[in-house]
C-alpha cells in the first residue's frame, strides 16, 4: 500500500463538475489500495479575481493582507473536493496550510517552506481518510497566513510528498506530460517517458510551463519522484526523477522556447571592476529578476553588457539604467522587446561535444541571426528575433532527431 | 480613549466601493482617538454563492467542510478592509477566527463560543493598529474551523466587545435603528433611542430582523452596550442596554410582526401525562424548532394542541405528526400556512395591567380574529390571518400611541 500525493491545478478544479471528475480520479487511486493526499489549487480564475478585488481597493496592497485574501481560493477548492469525495462514500478531510502546519518564513507572497508538520495528515490517513490540502499556502511562527508564490501548489505537493515519504508526487495538469518541444509548434514533438530533475529544472527556467523550477529543485533535494500527467486522460505522463544510465544515451532531450522576455543592452560601458555590480545592483533594487547576462570582451577599455528580463519589467529597468549609464559614462541604453529565447536541454551534453556548433549551424542554415548566447552544463540558449521562433524550434527539433524514440526513453 | 468594537454586515461591504466607505467610517472613529476593532461579514451574497457551490457538489455537504468553505467569505472581506484602511494611512491587521483564538465547541454550522483569547488583538491595538476580525467563525480545540450560525458576525462582535471590555459594540446595518414598528407598514413608526436587552431579545424572536436574539443575550450577560445604527447615515441609532428607570414610563415599546411561520394543530388529543412530550419530542427529533405552543383546557378528557414553526418545516412536521396522531389516537392534524404573528413588547408590561385587554379590543374593533395567544412577562403575541397583518400592526401602533415620543426616549 503506497502513499501517493496528487496535485490538481486550477483548470482541473475550475467548476463543480470538474471537481467531481477529480474526486472520481482520487477515489480510483484509493480503491487501488493506496493512501492518498491531494493538494489543490484555487478554482480556475479565482486567484486573478481576488487580485482584482485587492486592486480595486488599492494599487499596492499590503503583502500580508494579500496572502490572507489569496489563501481563501485554495481553502474553497479543498473543502469542495473533500465534500465530493465524501459524496462518493470516502472519508475525507480538508486542511488549510495553517491546519497542516506548513511553516514558512514571513516573506509574504513568496514565502519559503521551513518545516512541515506531518502529524495531522498522518492521523487522517491512519483513520482511513483522504487528506485534501489547500495548496500554495503556509503559516508563519506568528500564525500569519503566507503564500508560496507562482507555482506554489506544486511546491506544497512536492514538499508534502517529501515530508511524508510518499512513493510518488503526481502533478495533474492540462498537458499530459513533458514534450521534446511545444506540440503546438512541432507536430512531431514526442512525450518524454522520463526526464532528470536537472533537465526539468532547466526546462522550467527556459519557458516550459509545466512545472516550476523551484518545485523540481525541492523534489531533487528530497528525492521525490514527480509524475507530470493529464487530469483528463488516464495515460501515464512524464516521470521526473534522478538521472539513470539509460538517459545518457540521448545528447539532447528537448528544445524549449520562451517569448516572455525582452533584451536590454548598456553600450560602451567603461570596463572597470564594480561596474557590473553597480548596474545589476540597481536592477535588483527594483525587484526585477534578470535572466541571461552576456558581457562581450572588452575593446579599448569599453564593453557592452546585455541581459534579458521579463518583458513587463523592461520599461522600469530602462528607466533606472539610463540614470546609471550617465553616472558610469556609458554610451547609452538600448532595448528590444520582440525577442525569443530558444534552448536545447540535455544531460548528455556533459559528455558530448558539438551540440553548440550543431545548434548554431542549424539556425544559420535557416538564416536566423543569433543575438545572445548563454550556456550551462546541460543547456544552450540563443536569443533570436521573435518572428523566427517557430522556424527555429522546428529546425532544431528536426536537426537533433528529437521526434525519434531515444534509447533510454519510454 | 475608548475601545470601540464596530461590526459591518454583508450589505455594508458588498463591493470595493462600499468597503472604502466602511474604511472611511472606521478611520473617523480612530481619528477621534478611539482604539477600534472591526468585525466584518462576508461581502453581499458571498455566503449564498458558497452554499450554492457546495450544493452543486452534494445535496448534503458535511458540516465540517461547509464551515471550512463558508469561513472564507469573512476572511476575504477582512483582508480587503485591512487593505482599505492601510490605503488611508492607518496601520491595520486582519485576523481570522482561528488567528484571534475564538474557541468554540465542535457543533459545526452552529458552534457556540467557549472562550476568546484577547492577547493578539490587544497586541495589535497596543501597536496602534486597527484590528479587523473575520466575523461568523471560530476554531475548535482541534484547530477545525467552525461557524456560529445565523447572525454569527453580530455574535463575534458582541463577544469580542465583552472579552475586550469595550465601551460599546456598534452594529452597522442597512436600517438605522430599532423602530416602534416596521416603517414599511407604519409611516409614523418612530426610531427608539434606547431599548432594554430584554425587549430587544423578545423583538428579535418576534420577527424584528435587526439583531439576533443570541447576540443580545450574550450582550446582556456580559453587560455590553450595543448600538444599532446605519452604515450609510451618521445619525445615532438605537442603544440596546440595561433597563433604566426612564424606560419604565412606557408601557409598550414596539409592535412587531412575523410572517415566516405556519401553524399546526393536533386535534382531540387524549389528555394524558406524557402526550405533549411525545408530540414535541417527535418534532424535535426532526431538528425543527417550535415557537409558540398553546394547549387549551381539556374537555371530556381531550384537548387540542397548536404550535407555530418556520413555514419551511411545516410539511415535514405534519408528516411525522400524522403518524404520532394515529399512535396516540388523536383525531387528526390540521395546519395553516397563511398566518402572521403580531406582538406587543415592553418592559412596562411588568407593572401595568390592561395591555392584553387593549390589544385584543383593538384587533376585535378591526374585525380581526385571534387564532392563538401567547404571553411572556414583557410581550403578548397574537397569531392572526396573514392578510390582516398590516391592518393589525397599524391599528396597534396607533392604539398604544407609539408614534409619540415616550418619557424615557431619545
Per-residue pLDDT tens for B371-387? 888 888 888 999 999 99
Q: How far apart, in whole angstroms, are the C-alpha atoms of residue A335 and residue A267?
A: 11
pLDDT of residue A39: 98
Mean pLDDT of A131-141: 97
Among A125, A144, A174, the domain boundary falls at A174
Mean pLDDT of A347-374: 87
**Largest Cα–Cα distance in chain A?**
77
B51 occurs within a structural domain: yes
Task: Name the 3-class secondary structure at A193.
Answer: coil
Residues A150, A291, single domain; the answer is: no
Task: Name the 3-class secondary structure at B202.
Answer: helix
Q: How far apart, in whole angstroms, are the C-alpha atoms of residue B146 and residue A6?
A: 27
A249 pLDDT tier (thresholds 50, 70, 90): low
Retrieve residue A390's grid coordinates. Answer: 517557430
B206 pLDDT tier (thresholds 50, 70, 90): confident
> Is the ipTM value over 0.90, yes or no?
no
pLDDT of residue A316: 93
- Cβ of B63 under 8 Å from any chain A Cβ? no
Q: What residues in A contact B14, CB-CB < 8 Å?
A: none
User: Given a cut of 50, is residue B410 above it in pLDDT?
Assistant: no
A230 occurs within a structural domain: no
Q: How far apart, in whole angstroms, are the C-alpha atoms of residue B66 and residue B68?
A: 5
Residues A277, A371, single domain; the answer is: yes
Element at B302 (helix H, strand E): strand B302-310
CA distances from A124 to A19, A119, A365 (A): 21, 9, 60
User: Given a cut of 80, is residue A298 above it in pLDDT?
Assistant: no
Higher pLDDT, residue B291 or A51: A51
Mean pLDDT of B299-325: 91
- Cβ of B21 under 8 Å from any chain A Cβ? no
CB B271 within 8 A of CB B300: no
What is the share, in percent, of chain A residues with pLDDT greater than 90?
72
Among A138, A49, A133, which residue's Cα sits nearest to residue A101? A138
- Cβ of A72 under 8 Å from any chain B Cβ? yes
CB B347 within 8 A of CB B254: no
pLDDT of residue A405: 64
CA distances from A137 to A12, A134, A315, B17, B273 (A): 19, 7, 32, 28, 60
Choose the weakest-confidence range: A3-17, A277-291, B64-78: A277-291
pLDDT of residue B301: 85
A198 occurs within a structural domain: no
* CB within 8 Å: B145 and A96: yes
CA angle B343, B344, B349 (to 5 degrees): 140
User: Given a cut of 70, is residue B99 above it in pLDDT?
Assistant: yes
Residues A140, A255, single domain; the answer is: no
Among A120, A152, A174, the domain boundary falls at A174
User: Given a cut of 70, is residue A247 above it in pLDDT?
Assistant: no
User: Given a cut of 80, is residue A181 above it in pLDDT?
Assistant: yes
What would the DSSP string read from start to end of A4-69?
A: EEEEE-GGGGSSHHHHHHHHHHHHHHHHTT-EEEEEE--STTHHHHHHHHHHHH-SS--HHHHHHH
Residues A144, A266, single domain; the answer is: no
CB B88 within 8 A of CB B130: no
Q: How far apart, in whole angstroms, are the C-alpha atoms of residue B165 and residue A36?
A: 47
Residues A118, A250, single domain; the answer is: no
Among B365, B302, B368, which residue's Cα sits nearest to residue B330? B302
Q: What residues in B contact A99, CB-CB < 8 Å?
A: 143-145
Mean pLDDT of A166-195: 92
User: Given a cut of 90, is residue B404 above it in pLDDT?
Assistant: no
Q: What residues in B contact A83, CB-CB < 8 Å?
A: 54, 57-58, 61-62, 65-66, 69
Among A174, A197, A227, the domain boundary falls at A174
Burial class of residue A222, CB neighbours in 10 A (0-12, 13-18, 19+):
middle
B283 occurs within a structural domain: no
Say which CATH number the domain at A376 has: 3.30.2130.10
Name the most confidently modeled range: A299-308, B65-74, B398-407: B65-74
Tell me chain A's radius of gyration from C-alpha atoms. Answer: 23
- Cβ of B6 under 8 Å from any chain A Cβ? no
Mean pLDDT of B34-59: 96
Mean pLDDT of A161-187: 93
End-to-end C-alpha distance for chain A, whole angstroms: 25
B408 pLDDT tier (thresholds 50, 70, 90): very low
Q: Which residues contact A274 (CB under 8 A, 6 or more apart)?
A: none
Q: How far apart, in whole angstroms, are the C-alpha atoms of residue B206 and residue B216?
A: 14
Per-residue pLDDT tens for A380-404? 999 999 999 999 999 999 999 998 7
Question: Strand pairing of B339-345 and B379-385?
Answer: antiparallel
CB B121 within 8 A of CB B37: yes
Number of domains composing chain B: 1
Q: What residues in A contact B27, CB-CB < 8 Å?
A: none
Q: For all residues of chain A together, what is the average pLDDT?
A: 91
Owning domain of residue B118: 3-174
A210 occurs within a structural domain: no
Distance from CA of A124 to the nearest CA of B (A): 13
Instruction: List all residues of chain A from 99 to 158 with a beta carbon under 8 Å from chain B.
Output: 99, 120, 143-145
Distance from CA of B15 to the nearest CA of A (A): 9
Tell me chain B's radius of gyration from C-alpha atoms. Answer: 23
pLDDT of residue B407: 43
Closest chain B CA to residue A84: B57
User: Given a cut of 80, is residue B250 above it in pLDDT?
Assistant: no
- Tell me the H-state helices in B182-313: 197-205, 213-222, 275-285
User: Given a cut of 60, is residue A248 above it in pLDDT?
Assistant: no
A203 occurs within a structural domain: no
- Strand locations in A117-177 (E): 130-134, 137-139, 145-147, 168-173
* CB within 8 Å: A69 and B56: no
pLDDT of residue A407: 43
CA dihedral B81, B83, B85, B90 (to 10 degrees): 150
Mean pLDDT of B315-336: 94
Among B286, B283, B160, B276, which residue's Cα sits nearest to residue B226? B160
Mean pLDDT of B281-300: 84
pLDDT of residue B405: 64
* CB within 8 Å: B80 and A57: yes
Q: What residues in A contact B80, CB-CB < 8 Å?
A: 53-54, 57, 65, 69
Per-residue pLDDT tens for B151-193? 899 999 999 999 999 999 999 988 889 999 999 999 999 999 9
The gap from C-alpha A286 to its chain's centroid, in whole angstroms, comes to 22
Mean pLDDT of A204-232: 87
Cα torsion angle, B281, B282, B286, B290, sign: negative
pLDDT of residue B383: 93
- Cβ of A86 under 8 Å from any chain B Cβ? yes
Q: How far apart, in whole angstroms, are the C-alpha atoms of residue A143 and residue A152?
A: 19
A390 occurs within a structural domain: yes
pLDDT of residue A288: 87
pLDDT of residue B142: 95
Mean pLDDT of A237-264: 85
Say which CATH number the domain at A103 has: 3.40.1160.10
What is the share, in percent, of chain A residues with pLDDT greater than 70?
97
* CB within 8 Å: B75 and A72: yes
Mean pLDDT of A282-299: 83
Looking up cell 521551513, which residue turns up? A114
Q: How far apart, in whole angstroms, are the C-alpha atoms of residue A377 and residue A347?
A: 8
Mean pLDDT of A125-150: 96
What is the share, in percent, of chain B residues with pLDDT greater than 90?
73
Looking up cell 487530469, which residue turns up? A231
Q: How far apart, in whole angstroms, are the C-alpha atoms of residue A60 and residue B167?
A: 34
- Cβ of A216 under 8 Å from any chain B Cβ? no
User: Given a cut of 60, is residue B328 above it in pLDDT?
Assistant: yes
Q: For all residues of chain B together, what is the average pLDDT?
A: 91
A219 occurs within a structural domain: no
Amino acid at each position: 500500500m503506497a502513499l501517493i500525493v496528487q496535485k490538481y491545478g486550477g483548470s482541473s478544479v475550475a467548476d463543480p463538475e470538474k471537481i467531481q471528475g477529480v474526486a472520481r480520479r482520487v477515489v480510483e487511486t484509493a480503491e487501488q489500495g493506496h493512501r492518498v493526499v491531494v493538494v489543490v489549487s484555487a478554482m480556475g480564475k479565482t486567484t486573478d479575481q481576488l487580485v482584482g478585488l485587492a486592486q480595486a481597493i488599492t494599487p499596492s496592497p499590503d503583502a500580508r493582507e494579500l496572502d490572507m485574501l489569496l489563501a481563501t481560493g485554495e481553502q474553497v477548492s479543498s473543502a469542495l473536493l473533500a465534500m465530493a469525495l465524501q459524496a462518493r462514500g470516502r472519508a475525507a478531510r480538508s486542511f488549510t496550510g495553517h491546519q497542516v502546519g506548513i511553516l514558512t518564513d514571513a516573506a509574504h507572497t513568496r514565502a519559503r517552506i521551513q518545516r512541515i508538520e506531518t502529524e495531522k495528515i498522518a492521523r487522517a490517513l491512519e483513520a482511513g481518510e483522504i487528506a485534501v490540502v489547500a495548496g500554495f499556502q503556509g503559516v508563519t511562527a506568528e500564525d500569519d497566513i503566507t503564500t508560496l508564490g507562482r507555482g506554489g501548489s506544486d511546491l506544497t505537493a512536492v514538499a508534502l510528498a517529501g515530508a511524508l515519504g510518499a512513493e510518488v508526487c503526481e502533478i495533474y495538469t492540462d498537458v499530459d506530460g513533458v514534450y521534446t518541444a511545444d506540440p503546438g509548434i512541432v507536430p512531431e514533438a514526442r512525450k518524454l517517458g522520463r526526464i532528470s530533475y536537472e533537465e526539468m529544472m532547466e526546462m522550467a527556467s527556459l519557458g516550459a510551463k509545466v512545472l516550476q523550477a523551484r518545485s523540481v529543485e525541492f523534489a531533487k533535494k528530497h528525492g521525490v519522484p514527480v509524475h507530470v500527467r493529464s487530469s483528463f486522460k488516464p495515460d501515464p505522463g512524464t516521470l521526473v526523477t534522478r538521472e539513470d544510465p539509460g538517459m545518457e544515451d540521448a545528447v539532447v532531450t528537448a528544445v524549449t522556447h520562451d517569448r516572455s522576455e525582452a533584451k536590454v543592452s548598456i553600450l560602451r560601458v567603461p570596463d572597470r571592476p564594480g561596474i557590473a555590480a553597480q548596474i545589476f545592483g540597481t536592477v535588483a533594487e527594483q525587484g526585477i529578476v534578470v535572466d541571461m547576462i552576456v558581457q562581450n570582451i572588452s575593446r579599448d577599455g569599453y564593453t557592452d553588457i546585455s541581459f534579458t528580463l521579463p518583458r513587463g519589467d523592461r520599461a522600469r529597468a530602462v528607466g533606472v539604467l539610463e540614470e546609471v549609464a550617465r553616472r558610469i559614462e556609458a554610451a547609452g541604453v538600448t532595448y528590444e522587446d520582440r525577442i525569443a529565447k530558444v534552448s536545447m536541454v540535455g544531460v548528455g551534453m556533459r559528455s558530448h561535444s558539438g551540440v553548440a556548433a550543431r545548434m548554431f549551424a542549424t539556425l544559420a542554415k535557416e538564416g536566423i541571426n543569433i543575438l545572445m548566447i548563454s550556456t550551462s552544463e546541460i543547456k544552450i540558449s540563443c536569443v533570436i528575433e521573435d518572428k523566427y521562433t517557430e522556424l527555429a524550434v522546428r529546425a532544431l527539433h528536426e536537426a537533433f532527431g528529437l521526434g525519434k524514440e531515444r534509447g533510454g526513453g519510454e
